[in-house]
Structure 1
Amino acid sequence: MIRHILFWKYTDTVKAEHKEAEALAFLQKSVATMVGHIDGLRCAEINTNTAGGEYDLVFYSELRDADALQAFQNHPLHIAHRERCKALVTDRLCGDMEAD
């Protein structure tokens, strides 16, 4: 299994307009469009980074294996998700790890 973890910051526009709660709800709905519809994607969720620091959000997902991760990256639903979200988030930090 692969754990695919991302950290994001809200864009300056989201922060300036105090739209973090609205943006989070939109991002959560967008992530939900992928769960159960992409082969090998076991779970995925996004929420507020409660640890604080410079990143506002954490995206967590589990995929069957490295091949599933590669397929996920290029899947049309994931591409559509990235397009929907690019005006809301910036400064991506990514980590992938193998797990039992």
Structure 2
Amino acid sequence: MITHIVFFKLKDRSPEAIERTVQVLRNMEGKIDELRHLEVGTDIVHSERSYDIALVTKFDSMDALQAYQVHPVHKLVIEHIASVREASASVDYES
């Protein structure tokens, strides 16, 4: 299994802006066959080094992760994220 984790820091860090992006991310659930697990969490510490949102997804294989990356539903998420993110970081690993 491949675990794909992405952290997002938004330009607008208001609760409303964060919730809007959380909903955009959660909207992928059940719409991408390759996506085996989706979890979205928001930061509760709010420190200087904190990111606002964490996305944890799981896939059966690297091929499945690649299919997710180009899926039309995920491409819409990428468009939204590009317009609201200040920074992001990701980690992919075998689990």
Checking the alignment, whether the CA contact within 8 Å between 1:3 and 1:98 is kept in structure 2 is: yes
Partner of 1:40: 34
Between stretches 27-36 and 76-85, larger displacement belongs to 27-36
Q: Percent identity?
A: 32
Q: What is the rounded CA distance, in whole Å, between the counterparts of 1:6 and 1:71 in structure 2?
A: 17
Q: 1:22-37, aligned counterparts within 5 Å?
A: 22-37=16-31
Once the two structures are superposed, residues 18-57 of structure 1 have per-residue CA deviations (whole angstroms, 9 ceiling, x without a partner) of: xx21122212221222111111101223222346424222
**Unmatched segments (≥5 aa) in structure 1:** none
Normalising by structure 2, report the TM-score: 0.84
**Change in 2 beyond 3 A, CA 1:23/1:47:** farther
Q: What is the rounded CA distance, in whole Å, between the counterparts of 2:36 and 2:69 in structure 1?
A: 14
Please state if 1:90 is matched with 2:82.
no
Normalising by structure 1, report the TM-score: 0.80
Query: Residue 43 of structure 1 aligns to which amino acid in structure 2?
Result: H
**Unmatched segments (≥5 aa) in structure 2:** none
Aligned-CA RMSD value: 1.7
